[in-house]
Structures are given as structure tokens and as C-alpha cells.
Amino acid sequence: MSHVVITLPDGAKKEYPIGVTPMEVAMSISEGLARNVLSAKLNDVVVDASTAITKDVSLQLLTWKDDEGKQTYWHSSAHLLAEALETLYPGIKLAIGPPIQNGFYYDIDFGDHKFSADDFEAVEKKMIELAKNNSVFERKEVSKADAISYFTEKGDPYKLELIQDLADGSITFYTQGNFTDLCRGPHIPHTGHIKSIKLLNTAGAYWRGDEKNKQLTRIYGITFPKKAELDEYLMMLEEAKKRDHRKLGKELEIYTFDDDVGPGLPLWLPNGGTIIELLETYAKKVEKEAGYFRVKTPHIARESMYIKSGHLPYYKESMFPPMEIDGVNYYLKAMNCPHHHKIFAATPKSYRDLPIRLAEYGTCYRYEQSGELFGLMRVRSLQMNDAHIYCTEEQFEREFQGVNALYLKHFEKFGIDKYVMRFSKHDPAKLGKKYIDMPELWVKTEAMVRRVLDKMGVNYIEVEDEAAFYGPKIDIQVWSAIGREFTLATNQVDFAQAERFDLYFTNENNERERPIIIHRAPLSTHERFVGFLLEHYAGNFPVWLAPKQVIVLPISDKYADYAEEVGNLLKKSDIRASVDHRAEKAGKKIRDAEVAKIPYMVIVGEKEQASGNVSVRMHGGTDLGTMELQQFAEKILNEARI
């Protein structure tokens, strides 16, 4: 057979001589396409555009428009960065340099040289210079012995360590210009594609992600085929910064930190306090409808409870050190579950009582590592939208489904559509170590969880080895404005703690039976959720959540009394309104109200006073014209319904 049949994405089948490369196929289609080809996909495997095709395949040519094309591009950019660094700083040791979602990085051991952001410009310049050589990325298969001898001679311990783990016959080198790297590929045809380069930041990163290993210097960068795209990207980063909850939280006076209070211990300012209260009102309403009971528990407990729960031996590191009272150690609670279990156990339970759903916006304290603290998203004192459901095995699926329904309801209420549902499972190899040693129960509950998810038709991904120690869980992942990933909400199955706390109910046969427990926190913690909402809404809270809903702006102090009257009437209707009595012009008052992101401005002057009406302007500039005060109040109340 001297020909291969290549199927293109549009379904067209074409015959080419055996050994044809994706680049040659591109040439046969159009020269312009060939110029833009970065790599290719052969039956779902991404390869160099210069790969010889030896059998019938489906082929997709990858360009900058494809995510996989971008990944190839950035991977090659990482090699270009390494080449530039090696030229400028001879003797450095290279570790790894992969593409990431936006750009790429390379981990480098600079030895004694201190590399900093001040050096970026010189490196970028060198990269541009090298890119202009249009150096071809050449792939070469090498034997393990040859690979070892190459990097031994070069003196690169990191590459040698990587090679140790590779099988002979699977090792490839890529060379562009004077630079050769151990690499699986694929790469773009030549460096000339890389036109616009920006190094973004440096960071410390442990070799192989292990904190016991040496810390290397990681350099992050991004590249584009066109300068306009780089500019656009940098602009986008700037825009994202404006949405950062830390910036908005300060500007809108939501929360603050104080050195005397301590790191990771947020103080909620009145605006933040209002938002929290509204969130709680909403949660309590929804949970009441869903059959939850509210409970209250103390912030501390004796050591013995956390030994019983299993938290202490495993999670001591994450708890504040104990305080000794009357010769006994007490801990600040890092979670509410043990307290709730004690409430379940306080009175005897019949199967007729189940399911029992205990809810509490409980305040917890976690000793997060200092380097982990991040605005409101990662703190040391937190209030969870917590609840524990105790149910029978037969009730489990229904209850679990009910919890998921609650999640979806919340997402709709807050307009959350960008999230990933992660179904975290155990790793059977770690039973008895990371996970409680009850293999059948793991299999059974994971199957139940999957069944519920499938039945509800929600989108989710399954991940191994990320379950809680007492059972599988579902996490909702979201991203902060600056792209950091967070678990917003969590929903966990627990078949272990009932045993540890000797929780039981009496079943129909008058026997003792263990309940299954569901831990759930769909609205996350106040801290993380408000942080998330600040970014989600870019500070423009919907009317029902806005700390200030209406501001009344008298045109001059001649109308101060009328403005006061309007403000008082609104306040009496339970609307969060205030009056701006400053001796400023209307334009100034409007501007300040706009900056404060207050949803409605009510402007009152001569006309309004004479007619007893109000003029309404929405945040953003929409003029709603003049209306009766009562009509306006009803409109707000209607929009603000929780």
C-alpha cells in the first residue's frame, strides 16, 4: 500500500502518499493555512506537523484558534524561554517547562544567581532575538543510555531524574537553535511563530511539587502571534484586577483586616454585615422550607470530642492549638459536625423521626498556613452555611438529591453558571490510611452518589483520591477574578462518624441502626461566598443583597425636608435608604452614588416637592423618570424580595 486515506474534520476523505506530513496536507489545501499550522491531531493524539503519516487516520490541523494549538505554541515558547535563559545565564539547571491555561512557565535552578523581575526585559529581548532566527524544532528519538550521557555531560540533575522514570525507547529530544531539551513534544514548526512575548512573574516552586525538595525559581510568561493580542490580554488582566474582591471589598467598605485582630480574621464593616444578614435570612428561609431545624452550638469543645471524631489525630495541624481549662484541653472548633452529632445523640431517635436535618451558620476557626491566606477567600475564622442530615440508607438517595436540588436553586438565585461539579472518590490503595477502612461502604455510597447525579442530569467530573476521610464528596469549584480556583460549596457523604459517635436510631424491627450522614454547605462560608459574590457581581449587588438600596439626593438644601420625608418613608417600608444632605451639587452626589454602586438614586427638587413625586435614576445611568413615591417603594420591595 503506497497511499493513506486521511479524513478531515469536515468529513472529507483524501488520499495521500504514505509518509505524508500534516504540514504537507495543509500545503495541499492552502499556503495560508500551512503558514498558520502549529501542530496536528491524528486520531485524537496531538503531534508535530512534521510527523509522517503511515496509516489511514483522521486529521485535524491545529492553529492558534484551537486550544491544543495554543498549548503547543506555549510549550514551544517555554523552550524558547529556556534557550534565552541558558544563553544569558550559562550553567543554570533546567527542570520542567510546561504550557498552562494562559501561557507557560519554566522551573529553573539558578544556582547562586538571583533572578528577579528586573531581569525580564533582557530575557524578553533575547527571546525575541532568538525567535527571529526561525529555528526549526527538531525531534529526535534517543536511547535511554544516550539521554543519560547527554544530560550527565551537560550536568543537569533534574533532567536525569526525569529520565530515570522513562522507559527506554520512549525518550525524545527536541532541538531548536543551540538548545536541546528532553521533551515529549509536540512543538510548533519553528520559533518564528512566536512574535509577542511577556514574562509575567517569578515564584518559588518545589521540584516535583514536594516541599521536601529544593525550591526552584519559576518564571511565568505568555506569548502571542500578534502584539494586539498581547495588549488585549494585558488589558483583560487589568480589568480582572478591578473585580478583585480585595479591591472592591475595600472600596465598598465591606470588610477589613487589622493587625491587632490578626491575620485571616476579617472584620465585617456595616455594609458587609448587612450582606451577611441578608444571606442568612435567605438561607434560613430556604432551609426551613426544605425541612431543616436550626441549632446553636458553642465555639469550643473538649479534646475528647475531637479524638472521638477522628479530627484530632488527622487534622490537628489545621486547628488552633488547644487552651487548657481546669486541666483539660479545649479546642476552637474547626468544623460543626461533632457538635451536631452530639445534638442528634441527645435524644433517642426512631426511624419515624428520620431524616433529621440540623442547620447552623456555625463559626469555625482553622489554622490555615500563613502563606495560604487570601483576602476573604481563605481565612482563619469562618462562618459556614452548614447542616448535617441524618437519614436511613433507604432515604439517602432522596436526601442527597434534595441537597443537590438546593445547590441548583442557589445557583439560579445568584446567577452562578460558571462552575465545575467534582465528584471526589477514594483511592482503594489508601484504605486505612487516608480513608476509613470500610471498602464495601465506599463502593456502595459512591455508586449511590453517581446514581443521584446521573438521575438529576447535572454535569460533573469524577476525580480519584480526593474524598473526605469519612466518605465521598461533591465539591463545586469556581474561579476568582484573578483566576485562582476555589471550592465554593461542598456536599459530603459520611458513613464513618455515626459509628465513632455511636449514633443510632431504632428501626421498624426494634433494632439499633446507624444513620448515614450528609454534610452540606451549599452557600459555602460567609467569607468565601461574599468574596465570590463581590467578584461575581463586580460589586454591583442585586437589589435584594445591596447593603444600600436607595440614596435620596436633594438638589439643594431647600428640599432637604422633603428629601428627609422621602427617606423616612422608604425606611419605614423596610427599604435600605439614606439621604445625601451634603452641600454638593446634584452631579457630585450622583457621581458619588455611582461610585458606591448604589442601585437606585432618587433625585428630589422643586418639581418633585411640588408634586410629591420622586425622580429615579438607576445605577449605570438609566433614567426611570418621575413616579409616585409609593409606586417606587413597591417596585423596590418587589425587586428586593428574598
Phi and psi at residue 591, to the nearest 5°? -60, -45
Out of 125, 585, 612, 630, the residue judged to bind RNA by CB under 7 A: 585
**490 is a site residue for RNA (CB under 7 A):** yes
C-alpha torsion 430→431→436→438, nearest 10: 160
Strands (E) located in 54-123: 57-62, 93-94, 99-100, 103-109
Site for RNA in 493-552 (CB under 7 A): 519
CB of 623 to RNA, least distance (A): 5
**578 is a site residue for RNA (CB under 7 A):** no
Amino acid letter for position 196: S
Site string for RNA, 215-244 (x = CB under 7 A): x-xx--------------------------
* Pairwise CA distance, residues 131 & 123, whole Å: 12
**Of 383, 393, 379, 394, nearest in space to 360 by CA:** 383
CA distances, 216 to each of 88, 328, 459, 491, 605 (Å) = 18, 44, 38, 37, 65
**Of 440, 18, 538, nearest in space to 241 by CA:** 538
Site string for RNA, 292-331 (x = CB under 7 A): -------------------x---x--xx------------
Site for RNA in 85-144 (CB under 7 A): 114, 116-117
CB of 90 to RNA, least distance (A): 21
Site for RNA in 165-204 (CB under 7 A): 201-204
CB of 12 to RNA, least distance (A): 42
Give the interface segment with RNA, choosing from 164-172, 191-199, 354-362, 556-564 (CB under 7 A). Answer: 556-564
Nearest residue (CB) to RNA, 3 versus 588: 588
Give the interface segment with RNA, choosing from 41-49, 144-152, 346-354, 591-599 (CB under 7 A). Answer: 591-599
Amino acid letter for position 382: L
Contact 605, 555 (CB under 8 A): yes
Spatial strand order of the sheet with 600-604 comes to 577-579, 550-554, 600-604, 613-618, 623-628
Give the interface segment with RNA, choosing from 271-279, 506-514, 535-543, 599-607 (CB under 7 A). Answer: 599-607
**558 is a site residue for RNA (CB under 7 A):** yes
Site for RNA in 260-279 (CB under 7 A): 262-264
CB of 15 to RNA, least distance (A): 47
CB of 59 to RNA, least distance (A): 34
Site for RNA in 601-630 (CB under 7 A): 601, 603-608, 615, 617, 620-621, 623
| Helical axes 157-164 vs 144-154, angle rounded to 10° | 160
Site for RNA in 15-44 (CB under 7 A): none
Out of 64, 150, 257, 544, the residue judged to bind RNA by CB under 7 A: 257
* Pairwise CA distance, residues 122 & 135, whole Å: 20
- Cell triple for residue 624? 426611570
Between vectors from CA 331 to CA 327 and to CA 336, what angle results, nearest 5°? Answer: 140
CB of 604 to RNA, least distance (A): 7
Give the interface segment with RNA, choosing from 91-99, 538-546, 590-598, 632-640 (CB under 7 A). Answer: 590-598
Site for RNA in 51-80 (CB under 7 A): none
Nearest residue (CB) to RNA, 469 versus 504: 469
* Pairwise CA distance, residues 58 & 7, whole Å: 4
Per residue in 393-427, is it b (16+ CB within 10 Å) or e — as a string?
A: eebbeebbebbbebbeebbeebebeebebbbbbbe
Nearest residue (CB) to RNA, 531 versus 547: 531
Site for RNA in 334-393 (CB under 7 A): 334-335, 366-375, 378
Out of 326, 587, 638, 641, the residue judged to bind RNA by CB under 7 A: 587
CB of 548 to RNA, least distance (A): 15
How many residues of this chain bind RNA (CB under 7 A)?
Answer: 75
CB of 238 to RNA, least distance (A): 12
**DSSP letter string, 137-162:** -EEEEE-HHHHHHHHHHHT-HHHHHH
**Of 313, 261, 306, 233, nearest in space to 70 by CA:** 233
CB of 228 to RNA, least distance (A): 24
* Pairwise CA distance, residues 323 & 318, whole Å: 15
Q: Residue 516 contacts by C-beta under 8 Å, 6 or more apart in sequence?
A: 390, 391, 392, 393, 396, 445, 493, 494, 495, 498
CB of 348 to RNA, least distance (A): 27
